[in-house]
Structure 1
Amino acid sequence: MADTVPSHDNSHPAPDKVLFRIDLENGARLGPGKVQLLQLIGQHGSIRAAGAALGMSYRRAWLLADEINRMFREPSITTRHGGKSGGGAVLTPFGEALLIRAQMMDVKIRSTLAEDLTWLEAMAADRIMPPE
């Protein structure tokens, strides 16, 4: 029967087959790239290092960080100017809460869709057939 659900282990969330993006009413978009940038700024303490880890220029990373700060009523990232003590960037308490909440939403989405994604993968052709 073609629509039989294959047996699977539902204890693991779906892998990176589903990416979510939230389009806010103010026109802002929060998706996996911005969430990953927040995570890496938190880890590295630097917009430059976070951007480099994502393979993007400092300018691109800085523009995305600035956009994230303008998306909400509170900033997500604060920066310190360079100099003898060095510069850097840190997540604000709101930025940390935003990152945690976005990561939790991602887990919920993957868990909710795990069974359906397993079924789709089981039903997918080994390769995409060329048009006839």
Structure 2
Amino acid sequence: MRVMLGDTIAIGPGKIALLEAIRECGSISAAAKHLDMSYKRAWDLLNEINRSLARPAVDSEHGGAQGGGTVLTPVGEEAIRLYRAAELRAAKACEAEINGLIALLAKP
């Protein structure tokens, strides 16, 4: 599921996975490594998320003795909650169609 803002994917599975990884790992670089993506790709996705939302999804602290870090804002937490709830509801509502598509897949 993707939520579009004009031509930009404002919220989608990759961006939600990135927010969840940031919540779990505590930094953008650690989240990028966890998701096997480059730091630049993670940073670009995060910039798209923050430009699309009315308020930022993350709050970053720069460097210092502890190396800084990134945490989700309440908006970031709410974006994850809403996305996962919509995903679950859509899966339940479309169960027959999803099973039909699975039946069309090649068997390993």
TM-score, scaled relative to structure 1: 0.73
Q: Percent identity?
A: 39
Tell me how far 1:125 sits from its aligned partner: 6.9
Select 2:48's aligned residue among 64, 67, 72.
Answer: 67
CA distance in 2, matches of 1:112, 1:79: 38
Select 1:51's aligned residue among 32, 40, 53.
Answer: 32
The unaligned stretches of length 5 or more in structure 1 are 1-19, 128-132
CA distance in 2, matches of 1:58, 1:125: 34
Deviations, residues 63-98 of structure 1 (Å, cap 9, x unaligned): 111211111110001101112022110000111011
> Which is richer in strand?
2
CA distance in 2, matches of 1:94, 1:71: 12
CA distance in 2, matches of 1:118, 1:84: 52
The verdict on how the C-alpha distance between 1:126 and 1:62 changes in structure 2, with shifts beyond 3 A counting, is closer
CA distance in 1, matches of 2:102, 2:76: 35
Find runs of 4+ consecutive structure 1 residues off by over 4 angstroms: none
> Which is richer in helix?
2
Identify which range, 111-120 or 77-86, moves more after superposition: 111-120
Deviations, residues 82-124 of structure 1 (Å, cap 9, x unaligned): 12022110000111011110111111111111122223434x3
CA distance in 1, matches of 2:3, 2:44: 19
Q: Structure with the greater relative contact order (CA < 8 A, sep ≥ 6): 1 or 2?
A: 1
RMSD value over aligned CA atoms?
1.7
The verdict on how the C-alpha distance between 1:48 and 1:126 changes in structure 2, with shifts beyond 3 A counting, is closer
Q: How many residues align?
A: 106
The unaligned stretches of length 5 or more in structure 2 are none
The verdict on how the C-alpha distance between 1:126 and 1:40 changes in structure 2, with shifts beyond 3 A counting, is closer
CA distance in 2, matches of 1:126, 1:104: 29
Select 1:81's aligned residue among 35, 51, 62.
Answer: 62
